[in-house]
Structure 1
Amino acid sequence: MVIAPLFWLITTSFKDKLDVYLGPKFIPWLDFRPTSKWWVRIFTIEKDTLLKPYANSLIIGSISALCSTLLGLAASYALTRFCFKFFFMKNDDIIFWFVSQRIMPPIIIVFAIYSMYQTLGLLDNHLGLILVYTAFNLPLSVWILSNFLSQLPRSIEEAALVDGAGPLTILFHIVIPMLSPSLTATFLLCFVFAWNDFLFALILTFSRAQTMPILIAAQHFQRGPQWWDISALSVLAVLPPVIITIALQKYFIKGLIPIGK
């Protein structure tokens, strides 16, 4: 179920037009003769069209994921180590409030954000998308990291306090090294959500901050269903999350397994 769509996507990017429309053809050199002309065209004629959205997606996705992870770490550490009370809400209620923000469909708030960004001059801007993706992924970050922080043995931190370590020393030299797999998993998930987002990028960008999902969708509306071009661009769009996941697979798996399992 996972490999079949990817296989179809990759093979379609190497098919000629007739092979696409006269399908189904799946096996290279048996069902069809592969061609690389669409890939050559992307990296030559359409290079300038591709590079900017690709760079935008990498910059916006990486920075927003990093911000979501760091802010989520700070919020999670505070909510699992100190007692808070905001009106009737205590620590568990505040964590649930964070997570509940993901329950709301983004389409409900996107037009309000558009009006606000129009006033602040953040439309079609890298900073605007970074801010909205950071806010959108922050509940996910708080939820994952607070779960793991609550399972870390506090005796280690208490021993460090007895030895004279301050809260920041404990956070940076004890907690963060122990949480590195969870931080990696959180960063990767936030990056994937930001990389794949279509709605916010569609409403809040026009040309300067356009991302890969918008570029791929635009191929269909500008030229019609040219599946060979769309498939090649989609393969390129899939590569960064796949490469990052493979490179960080060990930490990603550890980061999703509760401590003690």
Structure 2
Amino acid sequence: MRTRLGKVFVYAALLAWTLVVVAPLFWMVTTSFKNPPDVFLGPRFLPGVDFAPTARWWVRIFTVERDTLLRPLANSLIIAGTSAVVATVLGALAAYALTRFQFKFGPMKNENILFWIVSQRIMPPIVVVFAVFLMFRVTRLLDTHIGLILVYIAFNIPLAVWIMSNFLAQIPRSVEEAATVDGASPATAFFRVVLPMVTPSLSATFLICFVFAWNEFLFSLILSFARTQTMPLLIAAQHFQRGPQWWDISALSTLAVLPPIVITVALQKYFVKGLTLVGK
């Protein structure tokens, strides 16, 4: 009886959490198909029942505002994709070193070094954004792709190291020793033997880093201007420039969540497996 009640509680909690997550997304998508009066006349949920759906905002995005949309969309894909790939690779290399070799810097050992690396992710971005702005102004990295990519790499590496170190620690050293006996160098053993074994964790790490970079707002607001404007800035501009036009904002927001969703679906098998293995 207690087990059955426990299952009922778990399923009820999962259902409630699903509603909490899905309800804002459903509201956003339906708002993108509403006329302005339907937005301001109170809750209207069902298209064709509570309101007459229209695609005029989507048509305007891909016609009138197409040129305005394409640059921020391309910027976000380039910046988030590149930073996620580099952070994942560097995180895997650092995690491999921390799980295979013993380091000591004064009283600090591998566990302390890993904690220090991960603790950098706890630091609020607002603490360093002004210093980064001054450095980028001197080095002429303001409003450049490479500038934002470097910032996102720096903030995503701690997360990548943490995820990859948990996974690499589970791979026995005997795998690399066997490859070494067969004549492989340590680098060859890592790239040709170890990395293929951690593909699920690499996929999970890449996806998490990509989503963080894709959704980031503060650094892109301070460090970029018109040339490297990203999707979060474009969406925010719909409010700042013309007032709260929620139908336009909702259409752009719906479009902005599509790339992460597509990547998540494509990597779903590896993502779930990677997080499962990390949690063991």
Where in structure 2 are the equivalents of 1:113-152 lying within 5 Å? 113-152=132-171
Equivalent residue number for residue 108 of structure 1: 127
User: 2:163, 2:278 within 8 Å by CA — same for their partners in 1?
Assistant: no
The residue type equivalent to 1:69 in the other structure is T
Are 1:9 and 2:4 matched, yes or no? Answer: no
Aligned to 1:212: 231
- The answer for the alignment partner of 2:57 in structure 1 is 38
Partners of 1:67 and 1:183 in 2: CA distance: 11
Q: Aligned in 2, Cα 1:260/1:164: closer, same or farther, shift over 3 Å?
A: farther
Cα distance per residue 1:185-208 (max 9 Å; x no partner) = 000000000000000000101111
* Alpha-carbon displacement from aligned partner over 1:23-66 (angstroms, at most 9, x marks no partner): 21110110000000001111111111111000000000000000
* Residue 152 of structure 1: how far off its partner (Å): 0.7
2:105 aligned partner, one-letter code: F
The aligned amino acid for 1:56 is: N
Compared CA separation, residues 259 and 234, structure 1 to 2 (3 A) = closer
Taking structure 1 as reference, are residues 122 and 27 closer, same or farther at Cα in structure 2, changes over 3 Å only? same
1:260 CA displacement: 9.9
> What is the RMSD computed on CA atoms of the aligned residues?
1.1
Q: Distance in 2 between matches of 1:218 and 1:71?
A: 34
Partner of 2:254: 235
SS, match of residue 171 in structure 2: coil
Q: 1:45 to 1:259 in 2, by over 3 A?
A: closer
Corresponding residue SS for 2:201: helix
Measured at CA, do residues 183 and 35 of structure 1 come closer, stay the same or move farther in structure 2, by a change above 3 Å?
same
How far, CA to CA, are the matches of 1:137 and 1:241 in structure 2? 16
1:247-258 alignment, distance < 5 Å: 247-258=266-277
How many Å separate the matches in 2 of 1:249 and 1:159?
A: 31
Assess if the C-alpha contact under 8 Å between 1:61 and 1:194 holds in 2. Answer: yes
- Taking a change above 3 Å as real, the CA distance of residues 260 and 54 of structure 1, as seen in their structure-2 partners, is closer
How many residues align? The count is: 261
Shift in alpha-carbon separation, 1:260–1:233, aligned structure 2, 3 A? closer
User: Could you state the TM-score of these two structures normalised by the residue count of structure 1?
Assistant: 0.98
CA distance in 2, matches of 1:258, 1:183: 12
Cα distance, 1:162 vs structure 2? 2.0
SS at match of 1:15: coil
Q: Percent identity?
A: 69
- Contact 1:152/1:259 (8 A) holds in 2: no
Report matched runs for 1:51-200 at 5 Å: 51-200=70-219
Hey, what's the Cα distance between the residues in 1 that align with 2:106 and 2:66? 55
| Cα distance change of structure 1 residues 259 and 187 upon mapping to structure 2, 3 Å threshold | closer
Residues 259 and 208 (structure 1), Cα distance of their counterparts in 2 relative to 1, 3 Å cut: closer
- The whole-number CA distance in structure 1 between the counterparts of 2:161 and 2:278 is 17
Per the TM alignment, residue 168 of structure 1 is displaced from its structure 2 partner at its CA by 1.1
Q: Deviations over 1:74-124 (max 9, x none)?
A: 111111111111222111111111100011111000000000000000001
- Which range moves more in the overlay, 7-16 or 83-92? 83-92
Deviation, 1:164, is 2.0
SS in 2 for 1:85: coil
CA contact (8 A) 2:201 2:278 kept: no
> Is the 8 Å Cα contact of residues 182 and 252 (structure 1) preserved in structure 2?
yes
Q: Which runs of 5+ in 1 are unaligned?
A: none
Give the conservation status (yes or no) of the 8 Å contact 2:204–2:271: yes
Q: Please identify which structure carries the higher helix content.
A: 2
